[in-house]
Structure 1
Amino acid sequence: MTDIDPATGLGYLTAVESGAGNGYVVGPPLSAESEQLYEAADRGTR
């Protein structure tokens, strides 16, 4: 998460982390399509 507001605890989800092994964690940034999917789900539409 980035830009977390200390007063509300709200921020932006920029990646989903996944274990890569050997102590590394990877999290490729979410795409524009991911944002569109989230917004559609939030509205309850396709």
Structure 2
Amino acid sequence: MRPLSVDDVLSVSFFYPFINDYLTIAVRSLRFKKRNAIDKNKKE
């Protein structure tokens, strides 16, 4: 494993907000799907 260079740190700090947003959206959509499934089960 090579040591982190300045370029690596800059690119990670640049992409981190995008990765963070993507993860947040993914988690939200999963929770939303779960909630919908539970609601459907309750109605029947």
TM over 0.5, yes or no?
no
Q: Which has the higher strand share?
A: 1
Length-normalised TM-score, structure 1: 0.32
Q: Which has the higher helix share?
A: 2
Higher relative contact order (CA 8 A, sep 6+): 1
Which of these two proteins has the greater Rg computed from alpha carbons? 2
Length-normalised TM-score, structure 2: 0.33
